[in-house]
């Protein structure tokens, strides 16, 4: 069967319209976005976290007749353990055992719209909202119990098992109160929070609720989903971004064996089959067709040359003048990072099902509500007839192909009403078509005086926008391929203090004369978007590398130059804790090509603090780096799950080492050339540091601070500093591959 369809005919194929009612929370959240987009509307600006956008308690928590709680979050589990942490937060403030709390994560019909799950905002915004909502509910339960028991609220306390007890021994369960207690009320900002001395759940290590299925072969990821009558789909595209296939006529394609349906619209084409292997074979056969270039050739020179050849707009990040001091020694340096892939272990996947006039999309996008908005515009379909549900994917941390594949699955589901459609990209499609993390360049001109005080800091960063996440149909591949097509959105910078290419370009250190310029480059020669930590990765790399270069110029210890210029007390504690845990002051070289490095940053200067100390050795003949040991310290405010924080920092360390040593997405000027793990190597198990220790500094009563991305910049910088210490050569352009290192040290 052939389907050379327009958006109108896709809509007509959807069948008879059936009325559908959204839940109240979903109706309240039809508009929104995320970092870089419009964001959910602010309704109650005085409330903490995401309560600002969804202030009604029943959007977050519901109680049943047995006193059990169902809690709702607009933040998604991406492998960072947020499900477990949010259950702990809700259980603690409701004073319930965790097994009596059921968590529902992002579902456009059931949960609040909290924008993107990105930028380390899950605990900072979502966890804060849920904690305060639960505290509000516990406060209302106590008030209602006081009326029922005929006593003052001050005589009552919760017991940790879902009951409220008075001082005279009377008790009442949450379930008896729930039926007469309306939670359709707005939260108040000052509901009393439980404190650390009362904690039964927060601050303790609970088993991760998402781990069992992942370790036993259960249904853990969207890739594992199977629905009755499900069709398998594959998109048919050229080898990489910027190419267009010259496919045979539809009549020829529809005679191919194993085909259930062929869908073509403009330059978009896909095959559907009853069996997945048939879909793959059909795709492979069609992709053998010749292709042509659909855009200008890729630049394949250096990152510096490519970016600086494009027009940019200067954005002043910092411009401060202090007391004039005579520079004693100056250092100028340029640093860069190549374009890098997300390298998701599982290629992007989505499932969509048009059933009873409701289109449901299961997606591992970090912007589930945006997936719904994109589908509505793409299909010309009322948004209330689209539901998007987050399902965990095997790899994420930025905009990989998840948004694209969700839109494509939605379009294909409209072509086969009543049949679920599972669409998965192939590995080479993921590498060939996903947005890359942008290449970046920085230049630093700094100086110290005779007292080794930094007296000049001139810093420039060149970068494309880092957040091109789709909030409309023009932001996904299919929106640019079908006819009529949608206009791709214009790239825009994210304002500070969050920033994108400018993220963390403003040092937390106290330098007297700082001039920081973001050279924002709107034109994107390669498809780019968000990758974990955005510009913070290279900016922290550059700042912390320069600090070590200045320390070397002044013959002072790298730890001292940092502490001498840091006034933030919590930052000083983190730096000192990492150094003490590592034994920095006692370090001694026992062999040639052994080195030690450190680095620090506070993510976005408003998230978690992280310092990393590292010991490495280098093999002279191969240039291979062995990371012998890493000691990190982090301060993320009130700690919900100590192991969860440690896991996040450990994961950031490993991923950042991979970026720094290996990763670069290459092209030959015509197509991308990194299509598999041999052409795009990542850190292997044998290269993981021999030991990683993470000290979590507890800050009882302090706000939650996002921790997931705080280790990206410090880790790569610590490695570069250790490498310079080991070899006497300063490496400034990532990736710091063994070939580069071997070439530089061959004569040492």
pLDDT single digits (tens) 202-235:
999 999 999 999 999 899 999 999 999 999 999 9
Domain count, the chain: 3
Residues 410, 271, single domain; the answer is yes
Could you tell me if residue 411 is inside a domain? yes
Q: What whole-number distance in Å separates Cα of residue 626 and Cα of residue 614?
A: 11
pLDDT under 70: residue ranges of the chain: 1-38
Could you tell me if residue 707 is inside a domain? yes
Select from 151, 181, 214 the last residue of a domain.
214
Could you tell me if residue 327 is inside a domain? no
Contact assessment for residue 583 and residue 690, using Cβ atoms and an 8 Å cutoff: no
Q: What whole-number distance in Å separates Cα of residue 120 and Cα of residue 725?
A: 32
- Name the nearest CA neighbour of 454 among 558, 561, 555, 540: 561
Q: What whole-number distance in Å separates Cα of residue 344 and Cα of residue 491?
A: 24
Q: What whole-number distance in Å separates Cα of residue 401 and Cα of residue 407?
A: 10
Could you tell me if residue 3 is inside a domain? no
- Greatest Cα pair distance in the chain: 86
Residue 529 phi, psi (nearest 5): -165, -160
In the sheet that holds 69-72, the strands lie side by side as 61-63, 69-72, 101-104
Residues 6+ apart with CB under 8 A from 307: 439, 440, 441, 462, 463, 464, 521
Contact assessment for residue 346 and residue 392, using Cβ atoms and an 8 Å cutoff: no
Contact assessment for residue 75 and residue 86, using Cβ atoms and an 8 Å cutoff: yes
What is the radius of gyration, based on Cα positions, of the chain? 27
Residues 47, 151, single domain; the answer is yes
Q: Is the peptide bond before 700 cis (omega within 30 degrees of 0)?
A: no
The pLDDT of residue 321 is 86
The pLDDT of residue 158 is 96
Q: What whole-number distance in Å separates Cα of residue 136 and Cα of residue 49?
A: 14
Query: Could you report the per-residue pLDDT of 340-361, keeping only the tens digit for each?
Result: 999 999 999 999 999 999 999 9
CATH number at residue 709: 3.30.365.10
Residues 272, 379, single domain; the answer is yes
Could you tell me if residue 333 is inside a domain? no
Residues 356, 446, single domain; the answer is no
Residues 66, 166, single domain; the answer is yes
Helix/strand/coil (H, E, C) string of 386-411? Answer: EEEEECCCCCCCECCCHHHHHHHHHH
Q: What whole-number distance in Å separates Cα of residue 113 and Cα of residue 368?
A: 9
Residues 61, 87, single domain; the answer is yes
Angle at the Cα of 366 from the Cα atoms of 361 and 372, rounded to 5 degrees:
35
| Per-position DSSP letters for 540-581, written without gaps between them | HHHHHHHHHHHHHHHT--HHHHHHHT---HHHHHHHHHHHHH
Contact assessment for residue 631 and residue 582, using Cβ atoms and an 8 Å cutoff: yes
Please give the residue range of the domain that contains residue 194. Answer: 31-214
In the block, residue with structure tokens 């994917």: 393
SS3 602: strand
Could you tell me if residue 581 is inside a domain? yes
Torsion of CA 197, 203, 205, 206, to 10 degrees: 90
Residues 162, 273, single domain; the answer is no
The pLDDT of residue 13 is 30
Residues 163, 89, single domain; the answer is yes
List helix spans (H) across 610-688.
642-661
The pLDDT of residue 38 is 59
Contact assessment for residue 451 and residue 308, using Cβ atoms and an 8 Å cutoff: no
Residues 711, 568, single domain; the answer is yes
Q: pTM value?
A: 0.92
In the block, residue with structure tokens 């590498």: 431
- For residue 624, the tally of other CB atoms under 10 A from its CB is 15
- For residue 418, the tally of other CB atoms under 10 A from its CB is 11
Residue 626 phi, psi (nearest 5): -115, 120
Q: What whole-number distance in Å separates Cα of residue 342 and Cα of residue 366?
A: 14
In the block, residue with structure tokens 């610590």: 718
| Per-position DSSP letters for 216-243, written without gaps between them | HT-S-SGGG---TT-EEEEE---SSTTE
SS3 712: helix
Torsion of CA 581, 553, 609, 335, to 10 degrees: -120
SS3 270: strand
Q: What whole-number distance in Å separates Cα of residue 235 and Cα of residue 434?
A: 13
Could you tell me if residue 23 is inside a domain? no
Which residues face 72 on adjacent strands?
Answer: 104
Could you tell me if residue 323 is inside a domain? no
Residues 201, 243, single domain; the answer is no
Residues 77, 121, single domain; the answer is yes
SS3 94: helix
| Per-position DSSP letters for 473-529, written without gaps between them | GGGSHHHHHSSS--PPPPP-PPPTTT-STTTT-S-SS--SSEEEEEEE----SS-B-
The pLDDT of residue 117 is 87
Residues 91, 150, single domain; the answer is yes
Contact assessment for residue 458 and residue 515, using Cβ atoms and an 8 Å cutoff: yes
């Amino acid at each position: 069967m052939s389907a050379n369809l327009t958006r109108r005919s896709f809509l007509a194929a959807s069948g008879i319209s059936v009325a559908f009612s959204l839940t109240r929370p979903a109706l309240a959240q039809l508009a929104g976005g995320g970092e870089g987009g419009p964001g959910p509307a602010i309704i109650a600006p005085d409330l903490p976290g995401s309560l600002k956008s969804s202030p009604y308690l029943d959007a977050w928590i519901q109680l049943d007749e047995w006193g059990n709680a169902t809690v709702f979050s607009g933040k998604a589990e991406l492998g960072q353990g947020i499900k477990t942490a949010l259950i702990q937060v809700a259980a603690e403030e409701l004073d319930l055992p965790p097994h009596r709390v059921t968590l529902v994560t992002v579902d456009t019909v059931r949960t609040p719209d909290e924008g993107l799950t990105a930028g380390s905002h899950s605990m900072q915004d979502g966890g804060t909202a849920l904690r305060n909502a639960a505290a509000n509910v516990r406060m209302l339960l106590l008030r209602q119990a006081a009326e029922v028991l005929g006593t003052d609220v001050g005589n009552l306390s919760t017991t940790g098992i879902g009951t409220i007890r008075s001082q005279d021994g009377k008790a009442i369960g949450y379930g008896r109160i729930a039926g007469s207690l309306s939670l359709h009320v707005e939260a108040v900002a000052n509901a009393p929070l439980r404190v650390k001395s009362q904690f039964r759940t927060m601050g303790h290590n609970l088993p991760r609720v998402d781990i069992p299925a992942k370790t036993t072969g259960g249904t853990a990821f969207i890739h594992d989903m199977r629905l009755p009558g499900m069709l398998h789909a594959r998109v048919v595209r050229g080898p990489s971004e910027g190419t267009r296939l010259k496919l045979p006529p539809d009549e020829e394609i529809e005679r191919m064996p194993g085909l259930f349906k062929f869908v073509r619209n403009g330059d978009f084409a896909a095959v559907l089959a009853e069996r997945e292997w048939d879909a793959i074979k059909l795709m492979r056969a069609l992709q053998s067709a010749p292709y042509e270039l659909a855009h200008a050739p890729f630049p394949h020179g250096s990152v510096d040359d490519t970016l600086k050849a494009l027009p940019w707009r200067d954005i002043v990040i910092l411009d401060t003048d202090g007391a004039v001091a005579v520079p004693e020694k100056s250092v100028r340096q340029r640093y860069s990072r190549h374009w890098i892939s997300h390298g998701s272990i599982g290629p992007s996947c989505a499932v969509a099902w048009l059933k009873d006039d409701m289109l449901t999309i299961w997606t591992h996008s970090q912007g589930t509500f945006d997936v719904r908005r994109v589908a509505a515009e793409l299909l010309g379909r009322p948004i209330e007839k689209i539901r998007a549900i987050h399902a965990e994917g095997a790899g994420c941390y930025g905009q990989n192909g998840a948004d694209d594949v969700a839109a494509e699955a939605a379009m294909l589901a409209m072509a086969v009403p009543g049949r679920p459609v599972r669409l998965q990209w192939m590995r080479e499609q993921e590498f060939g078509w996903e947005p890359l993390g942008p290449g970046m360049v920085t230049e630093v001109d700094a100086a110290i005086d005779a007292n080794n005080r930094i007296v000049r800091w001139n810093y420039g960063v060149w970068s494309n926008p880092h957040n091109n996440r789709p909030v409309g149909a023009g932001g996904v591949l299919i929106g640019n391929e079908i006819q009529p097509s949608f206009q791709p959105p214009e790239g825009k910078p994210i304002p500070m203090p969050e920033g994108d290419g400018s993220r963390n370009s403003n040092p937390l250190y106290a330098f007297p004369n700082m001039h920081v310029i973001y050279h924002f480059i709107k034109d994107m020669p390669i498809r780019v978007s968000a990758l974990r930590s955005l510009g913070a990765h290279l900016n922290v790399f550059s700042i912390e590398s320069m600090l070590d270069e200045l320390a070397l110029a002044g013959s002072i210890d790298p730890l001292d130059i940092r502490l001498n210029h840091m006034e933030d007390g919590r930052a000083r504690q983190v730096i000192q804790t990492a150094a003490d845990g590592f034994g920095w002051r006692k370090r001694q070289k026992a062999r040639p090509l052994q080195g030690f490095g450190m680095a620090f940053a506070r993510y976005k200067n408003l998230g978690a603090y992280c310092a990393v100390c590292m010991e490495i050795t280098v093999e002279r003949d191969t240039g291979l780096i062995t990371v012998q040991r890493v000691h990190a310290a982090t301060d993320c405010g009130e700690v919900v799950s100590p192991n969860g924080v440690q896991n996040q920092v450990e994961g950031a360390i490993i991923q950042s080492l991979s970026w720094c040593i290996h990763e670069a997405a290459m092209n030959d000027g015509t197509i991308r050339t990194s299509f598999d793990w041999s052409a795009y190597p990542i850190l292997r198990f044998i290269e993981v540091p021999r030991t990683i220790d993470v000290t979590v500094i507890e800050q009882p009563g302090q706000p939650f601070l996002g921790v997931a991305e705080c280790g990206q910049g410090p880790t790569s910088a610590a490695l570069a500093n250790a490498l310079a210490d080991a070899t006497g050569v300063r490496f400034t352009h990532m990736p710091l591959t063994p070939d580069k290192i071997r070439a530089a040290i061959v004569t040492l």
